[in-house]
Structure formats: structure tokens, C-alpha cells
Amino acid sequence: MDKIKGHPLSSGGKIQERNKKEKVWWKYMVSLVIIVIYLLPIYVLVVMSFKEKTDFSSRLLLPDYLYLDNYIKALKEGGFFNALKNTCFVTALTVGIIVILGCMAAYPLSRNRSKLNRIIKSICMGVMMIPSLSILVGVYTEIVSMNGVNCFWPVIVIGAAFGLPTAILLYSNFINSIPSSLDEAAALDGASPFKTFWHVILPQLKPVTATLVIQQGVGAWNNFVYPSYFLQKPAKYTLVLLIRQYFGTADSGSNLNGAAAVAILSTLPIVVLYIFMQKYFIQGQIDGAVK
Amino acid sequence: MKKRKNLQNLMYLPALGLMIVFIVYPLFRGFLYSFYKWNGYSQNMVFVGFKNYLDMMGNQFFGIAFWNTVLYAVLGTLLQEVLGIAFAIFLNSRFTGRIAVRTVIYLPVIISALLIGYMMTFLFQYHYGVFNEILQWFGMKPIDWLRDPGRGRIIISLVTGWHYTGSSMIIFMAGLQNIPDMYIEAAKLDGATKWQLFSRITLPLLQPAVASTVLLNMVGGLKIYDSIVSLTNGGPVQKTNSLSTLISYTYFTSEKAGYASAIGMFQFVFIFIISFFINRYFAGKEVEY
């Protein structure tokens, strides 16, 4: 259990004891309201995924029976496994590039504060300010000219490029806290800069890498903007694009219950990861906010 | 030594290269394109100078998208700040189920914004939507939530708030942990009321957390795209567009690449300026006791 420092309720005394009991009861009520408000949309999604296409009963009601066909159809013919494969591939490569190039870049930018390097660092931070859609026309025409449409590499490379500034920021802040005397000792032993980095710095970066992998991994998994422009053939769809395909068909012809099943299947991996590794998600959120 | 430093600097070349080729260079190209009339694929590009920018300023749909974007950012941020602090304080004391509540509030953050939008349509749809169903229980008429531009805009803002409040809450929880108990105790001994404790001690000492979250939330809100696609797709008639969805529409549907680039440049500069002023505002507000 984490340590909590709160406004301490005063200790001892019968009246305080009674007040404490009333206070806690109030908290349970509020907790219940919060949980209902936050889980309602998710509950509706789950409930709908187990209903037949023609079942127009209230979305709040549990289904009469568990209709599994939505899931079976999604897994067999719905293109789910293909999209899952694509998403895993894109996510793994994007995160891999961000982590590897990011820590490598952070090392000299943290250790060597020359004027040039400070300018370079500012450029990296400046890139963080550029909205994805501001450069849409420039990026799209560039990728088209490189024959990149319907390929995975533009999505991976652009996703990585947008994720690098955060990685560099987090890594360089962390490396700042590693005493440079360690570097100097390695240098005295004749190690090249890269060897110093590999043997001395890299092993210590694990905590940052862990939170970065989770933070950037979730971002890459859920990424919609550029995949929607570059991955136009259904065979290349990532899970987000599959979701859009299922939800996007015209109102009359759509099978929203089937779409709900696809959505649940697509989000399940991340949610499971979240339940088991909540600590890393929370830590990543905090790290991302500290300047 | 110099040689060593130069070798060391080689290590950031790959990252720098990637960012320059795929972000900085397109930014400059976009800047150039913004001065041309072009449909995005033909060989025919006509130089028009500042015409795209002038058209943009006078264009009704640009104005709508701009003010929508400001609304989404401001309302979304307001929600996340208020609820984020409220939830953080609520969860700051020990009680059973505390972790469950925290888990549930943060959960939407990891779900894609596109899906969040679709999930919300299940609630807000005119036919079979959960909220209209609830209205009918009370004998009230169903409301067209999403196809009315005014309501659509509010819903988009509320959905953004619902989606991301968890992330602000986490940052505030960390901030609360950094407030020494000693201050609270001392103030209580001096007879401070709950409200005084909050407004004179807690809130000022949370300034760094407020600064970070306001910046993140405002910038995030100004860039909003995915959830609009799934909630309203910019409709009806492009009236709930944000700057981002407008850029996409203008480029791919209207086939006006030069004009879309101009909007993009505007968006970049606008967000940059807002970030600058937010940072400036909060830089002067550090508090120490």
C-alpha cells in the first residue's frame, strides 16, 4: 500500500471517532457515483458486444443470453488477427526506435553542454510543440513522393519522430542525475564514448525505459491520425482503423453490436496490461509532466 | 578530449535526423505550400502570396473551427483541473476501495480517443441512445444531442474532460504528496477552516502541478482530432470542426492543399504562442513557505 499523507484526521476521542465513521460513509457514496459515471460507457460497450445485431433492447440492460457470435465472427473473418498483428508490429518498432535513438541522443545532450548541443536540445524540445496536423500536407506529399502509401514504415517513422522529444527529455533529465565521475572513470580505462554509454549509463536507464515503453507503447497502439491517412488497404489496418471500419458504416446497415465486440477485443490487451502494471502507467504520467 | 566529445555527439545524429526529415522539413514545406494555390497532386501550382491567409481570416468555417478549438481546449482544461484536484484530494485519505476508484478514473486515459468518441455515441445517439432512453423514462422528449452544433460542441468538451481527467488527477496526487504535513498541522493549530487550508496552503503549493496540467491540457485540447471524428465528424455541416479536423477536411475532401497548409501554419504558431504565455504566467507564481 502506498503511503498517504493527507489532512490528518485528529486522533482519539469519542466524538472524533463518530465523525470519522460518518465521514467514511460519505466517501463510499461518492466513490459509488464516480465509479458509475466512469464505468457507464464501458459497461454499455460490453453489454452491447454480447447482443445480437437485431437486439434493440435497452443498452442498459444485460443481454438475455450471452451472444458470442460477435466475438467469433470478429476473430474468424473480421480481420481482427490481421489488425492485431499489424498493430503489434507497428507499436514494437515505433517504441523500439524511440527508446534506442532517444537514450543515445540524450547522452551527449546531457553530458556535453556546448553551445551547439544546447541549440540542438532546444530544437528537440521545439519539435514537441509541432501539432501532428499542422504538417499534414508537408508530410503526406513527402511520403507519397517516397511511395510510402499503404506501407508501415511511414507510420512507424513518423510516430517515432513525434515520440523522440519526450524520450530525450526524460532520458537526459535522468542522465543528469548520474554522476559524470563514472563516465570519467570509464574514459580513463580507455573506453570509447559509445562503450562508456553502453556499459556505464545504459544499465541504469531501466526505470525510465520502462515508463517510456508503456507511455509511448499505448500512444502507438491507439494512434489514429497518420495511420488513417497512410494505411488505406484493409489488409494493412491497425486495430484503431478496424474499429473505425466497423463503427463507420452507415447507420442502417451497421452492426454496432459487432463493432462493440471488435472494440473490446482491441482494447483488451492494453487494459490487461494496465491492470497488472498500473504502477508504471501512473509513474509515466507523473514523469511526463515534470519539466 | 575534443575528439571524444565529437564522437559522443555523433550519438544524437540518428534521432536528430529522423526528426528533421519527418517533422521539421515537412513544416518548412508546408510553410512554402501555404503561399500557393494547389490541389495537392497535380503539377499545377499557382503562387498566390498571402491570399490563402487572407481567405482564411475571412472564411466563416475557419472562424467556427477556431472558436470551437478554443472552447474545446478551455472547457476541457477547466473540467480536468477542477475535477482533477477534487478527485486527488478525495483520494488523498485512506479508505477501502480507494485504489479501485483511482483505477477506474484513470482507465479511460489509456483507451484511444477514437473509441472513446464511439462509446459516447452509444450514450448520445438520438435513436436507442442511453440518455434519450433515460429521458423517456421520465416522459420527456428525446433530444438530438450530437446533431445540434451547440450541444455537439459542449458534448465534445465534456467527453474530452471525462477522457483525460484521470491524468491530471494523478499529477495532482503526486503534488499533494509533496505538501509537508507540518504546514497543515501548523495551520490547524492556528484554527484554520477547511476552506482556508485549501485556498491558503494546498492550492498555492500545488502551483507546479497546476502549471504542468494546464499546459498539457490546453495544448492537448487545441490539437483535438480523433474524438471529433467519431462523435460528429465535424458535422453538422462542418460546424463542430476543430482546427485539426478542418485541416484534414480542407486537404483531403476540398482538395485545397495550399489553404490547408496555411491553416496548419496558423495552428502551429497559435499553439506556440499560447504555450509561451501559459509558461510565462505560471513562471511568476512559484510559492514557497
pLDDT digits (tens, 9 = 90+) for A48-73: 988 888 777 777 888 878 888 888 88
Confidence at residue A1, expressed as pLDDT on a 0 to 100 scale: 43
Render A63-125 in DSSP notation, one character per residue: PSS---HHHHHHHHTSSHHHHHHHHHHHHHHHHHHHHHHHHHHHHHHHH---HHHHHHHHHHH
Grid coordinates of A30 = 461518492
Give bridge partners of residue B47 from the DSSP assignment: B36
Q: From CA B223, how far away is CA B52, in angstroms rounded?
A: 21
The residue among A43, A111, A137, A251 with the most chain B CBs within 10 A of its CB, best to mutate, is A137
Q: Within 13 Å of residue A57, how many CA atoms lie on the same side as its CB?
A: 14
Which one is predicted more confidently, A11 or B59?
Answer: B59
* Average pLDDT over every residue of A123-138: 93
pLDDT higher than threshold 70 for residue A21: no
pLDDT higher than threshold 60 for residue A5: no
Whether chain A has a CB inside 8 Å of the CB on B46: the answer is no
pLDDT higher than threshold 70 for residue A229: yes
Q: Do B114 and A244 touch (CB under 8 A)?
A: yes
Confidence at residue B48, expressed as pLDDT on a 0 to 100 scale: 93
Per-residue pLDDT band at A8 (split at 50, 70, 90): low
Distance from CA of A230 to the nearest CA of B (A): 12
pLDDT digits (tens, 9 = 90+) for B184-197: 888 888 888 888 88
Low-confidence winner among A20-24, A271-275, B35-39, B189-193 (lowest mean pLDDT): A20-24
Per-residue pLDDT band at A107 (split at 50, 70, 90): very high
Per-residue pLDDT band at A100 (split at 50, 70, 90): very high
Low-confidence winner among A273-277, A280-284, B70-74, B194-198 (lowest mean pLDDT): B194-198
* Average pLDDT over every residue of A15-32: 75
Q: Do B92 and A267 touch (CB under 8 A)?
A: no
* Average pLDDT over every residue of A220-235: 95
Confidence at residue A2, expressed as pLDDT on a 0 to 100 scale: 44
pLDDT digits (tens, 9 = 90+) for B40-54: 888 889 999 999 999
* Average pLDDT over every residue of A140-161: 95
Confidence at residue A27, expressed as pLDDT on a 0 to 100 scale: 87
pLDDT digits (tens, 9 = 90+) for A72-95: 888 888 789 999 999 999 999 999
pLDDT higher than threshold 60 for residue A6: no
DSSP A199: I
pLDDT higher than threshold 70 for residue A10: no
B176 touches B89 (CB < 8 A): yes
Whether chain B has a CB inside 8 Å of the CB on A267: the answer is yes
pLDDT higher than threshold 80 for residue B140: yes
Given A58, A138, A192, which is nearest B33 (Cβ)?
A: A138
Share of chain B above pLDDT 90, in %: 69
Give bridge partners of residue B37 from the DSSP assignment: B46
Encode B183-201: b = buried (16+ Cβ within 10 Å), e = exposed. ebeebbeeebeeeebbeeb
Q: Which residues fall within 8 angstroms of residue A205, CB to CB, at 6 or more apart?
A: A103, A171, A174, A175
By C-alpha distance, the chain A residue nearest B17 is A161
- Judged by phi (left if over 0) then psi (alpha if -120 to 50, else beta), residue B191 lies in left
pLDDT digits (tens, 9 = 90+) for A236-259: 999 999 999 988 865 545 688 889
How far, in whole angstroms, is CA B252 from its chain's centroid? 23
Give bridge partners of residue A160 from the DSSP assignment: none
Q: From CA A96, how far away is CA A88, in angstroms rounded?
A: 12
Whether chain A has a CB inside 8 Å of the CB on B97: the answer is yes
The residue among A135, A143, A149 with the most chain B CBs within 10 A of its CB, best to mutate, is A135
Per-residue pLDDT band at B76 (split at 50, 70, 90): very high
Provide the whole-model pTM. Answer: 0.90
Residues of chain A with C-beta less than 8 angstroms from the C-beta of B248: 133, 136
pLDDT higher than threshold 70 for residue A14: no
Confidence at residue A184, expressed as pLDDT on a 0 to 100 scale: 87
- Go through chain A and tell me how many residues it has: 291
Q: Within 13 Å of residue B276, how many CA atoms lie on the same side as its CB?
A: 7
Asked if omega into A63 is within 30° of 0 (cis), the reply is: no
pLDDT digits (tens, 9 = 90+) for B85-96: 999 999 988 888
SS3 assignment, position B117: helix
How many C-beta atoms lie closer than 10 Å to residue B288's C-beta?
5
